[in-house]
Structure 1
Amino acid sequence: MTEKISFRSTSRTFEVGGRPFHALQNVDLDIADCEFVTVVGPSGCGKSTLLNIAAGLVEPTGGEVLVDSRPVRGPGPERGVIFQQYALFPWLTVRQNVEFGLQIAKVGRAERRRRAQHFIDLVGLTDFADALPRMLSGGMRQRCAIARAYAVDPGVLLMDEPFGALDALTRVQMQDQLLATWGSERRTVMFITHDVDEAVYLANRVVVMAARPGRVHEVIDVDLPYPRTEAVRLSPEFSRIRNRVWRAVYHQTPQEGASQ
């Protein structure tokens, strides 16, 4: 398949207390067009830094990241970013939030309304299109953020623990909603999570990171059928893959996770 995102010996060093901290070291990873990849790893392994470099929000100190074979030099409309915090404009309605990026892109009013309504319907917020964010639950706010990201038609969605603040039931519902949206409107997705079950349930592949310095420890294929259902989540094959990811994340040897 065609490579959509390519990390090439990507490294990032920060200065902490006057000393260098190697957040990422020589990360090599390819994510294919329309692939759903989740990234998990122990605390401090550089997951969010890796995503922020792909988003163009952080510059690498070594190597590079390519999107559509072009080096990332900063944020761009071809990459939609969704964070754990909802980042909605509280004074705008759901519809106005979803239309915001289209307005910035100078899309005509009628087309803005049509595209916004399509994605509002797709994420199940039809009855709340004229509601303000304060009137919505956490899961509904995150659905609005997903609709807003999709509306500007990015080729890539970069998601940094978008369901981390939700309760367990809402989180599962949001996973199903996200997969339904992805199934209908295919995009390349890079999804950061601390939750091993979530990582396996969503992904084509799970990337397990090792910490200090952050680097790819293992890439695990998830050979489970879509659409993912409760039956899939309860299957022996899901348990087998989940246990493999769990061991890769939480049972790395000191040599594998230590500073270098």
Structure 2
Amino acid sequence: MTTKISFQNVSKSFELTSQNAFVALQNLNLDIEDGEFITVVGPSGCGKSTAMNIAAGLTAPSSGQVLVDDVTVRGPGPERGVIFQQYALFPWLTVRENVEFGLKIAGLPKEERRRIADHFIALVGLTDFSDSLPKTLSGGMKQRCAIARAYAVNPKILLMDEPFGALDALTRVQLQDQLLTMWSKERRTVMFITHDVDEAVYLASRVVVMAARPGRLYKIIPVDLPFPRTEEVRLSPEFAELRNQVWRAVYHPASH
């Protein structure tokens, strides 16, 4: 396997006062393989989002570096798509126009933009809402639009920061399945931040457990469950055992 993202001794501190600093992340070393789906879970303040923001190029590390394809990350790049918990759609643009936005910026002709956008809109099940504005969509539909927009510009990496955190339980499960279906077809490298232990196990090939104060890597738990993931997998004894293993790691005293 080829390493796609490499965190190398990454630390990040935020200055609170001239005398005081908050260590959000300390000496994180983590390699994510090309095409791998990893989830990152841990208590509040463990540096999950900070690590993702550094990988996205949205903030710089205080020390260490993140490499993508052996190149140091120094800012955002088109090879990294970012999806946040907030939907971040342009409210004045339709679903199709939102999905086409990055393609338009890239200078693709109108016909090509539409073909690509319609493909990913269909993949997330929003074809009937292509001409709708975001205000007419449910929360789950908005997030599906955001996922389609991220995929449309053909990033090699998807960085997802609790994208389903604001959704109801049923919609969340449906979008987990839809995301895995897209991942199996498009096979991007995914780093997915979550607070939900069940979600972390269900989606991932490996679960990265972080510890807090300071934020640091605590444990990596391989998820030896078959893809595609199904309801039977979710209800299996093997899933329950892995969930309990991750749960114990997340809430172990050493992780706080």
Q: What interval of TM-score do these two structures reach, taking the shorter chain for normalisation? A: over 0.9
Question: 2:6 maps to which residue?
Answer: 6
Report SS of the residue matched to 1:8.
Answer: strand
Q: Matched residues in 1 for 2:121 and 2:253: separation?
A: 42
> Residue 35 of structure 2 aligns to which amino acid in structure 1?
C
Partner of 1:243: 244
> Shift of residue 17 of structure 1?
3.7
* Residue 119 (structure 2) aligns with: 118
Q: Give the match for residue 151 of structure 2.
A: 150
**1:22: which partner in 2?**
23
* C-alpha deviation, 1:251, in angstroms: 1.6
Q: Give the superposition deviation at 1:144.
A: 0.3
1:183-217 deviation per Cα after TM superposition (whole angstroms, max 9, x unaligned): 11110000000000000000000000011111110
- Matching of residues 177-188 of structure 1 within 5 Å: 177-188=178-189
Separation (CA, whole Å) in 2 of partners of 1:173 and 1:17: 44
- Report the Cα distance in structure 1 between the residues aligned to 2:32 and 2:183, rounded to whole angstroms: 16
Q: Does 1:165 align with 2:150?
A: no
Give, in whole Å, the separation in 2 of the partners of 1:136 and 1:180.
22
- SS in structure 1 of the partner of residue 60 of structure 2: coil
Counterpart in 2 of 1:199?
Answer: 200
SS of corresponding position for 1:157: strand
Aligned pairs for 1:135-146 within 5 A: 135-146=136-147
Percent of residue pairs identical: 74
Off by >6 Å, runs of 4+ in structure 1: none
| Structure 2: distance between partners of 1:167 and 1:219 | 28
Is residue 220 of structure 2 the alignment partner of residue 219 of structure 1? yes
Q: Could you tell me how far 1:108 is from its partner in structure 2?
A: 1.1
Are 1:228 and 2:229 counterparts? yes
- Note the residue ranges of structure 2 that are not aligned, 5 or more in a row: none
After TM superposition, the structure 1 stretch with the greater mean CA deviation from structure 2, 81-90 or 12-21, is: 12-21
TM-score between the two structures when normalised by the length of structure 2: 0.98
Alpha-carbon deviation of 1:252?
A: 2.8
Secondary structure in structure 2 of the residue aligned to 1:228 = coil
CA distance in 2, matches of 1:139, 1:199: 19
The CA deviation string for residues 39-72 of structure 1, in whole angstroms up to 9 with x for no partner, is 0001100000000000000100000000011000
> What secondary structure sits across from 2:227 in the alignment?
coil
**AA paired with 1:13?**
S
Report the 3-state secondary structure (helix = DSSP H, G, I; strand = E; otherwise coil) of the residue aligned with 1:194. coil
Cα separation, 2, equivalents of 1:235 and 1:212: 34
AA aligned to 1:15 is E
Instruction: Give me the TM-score of the superposition, normalised by structure 1.
Output: 0.97
1:155 partner letter = K
Supply the RMSD in Å over aligned alpha carbons: 0.7
Q: Give the superposition deviation at 1:16.
A: 1.6
Amino acid at match of 2:16: V
* Corresponding letter in the other structure for 2:40: V
Q: Which residue of 2 aligns with 1:80?
A: 81
Q: Shift of the alpha carbon at 1:111? A: 0.7
Q: Deviations over 1:217-249 (max 9, x none)?
A: 000000000110111000000000000000000
Aligned to 2:103: 102
| Distance in 2 (alpha carbons) for counterparts of 1:169 and 1:122 | 19
Secondary structure of 1:86 counterpart: coil
Instruction: Please report how far the alpha carbon of residue 127 of structure 1 lies from its aligned counterpart in structure 2 after TM superposition.
Output: 0.5
Whole-angstrom CA distance in 1 between matches of 2:248 and 2:227: 24
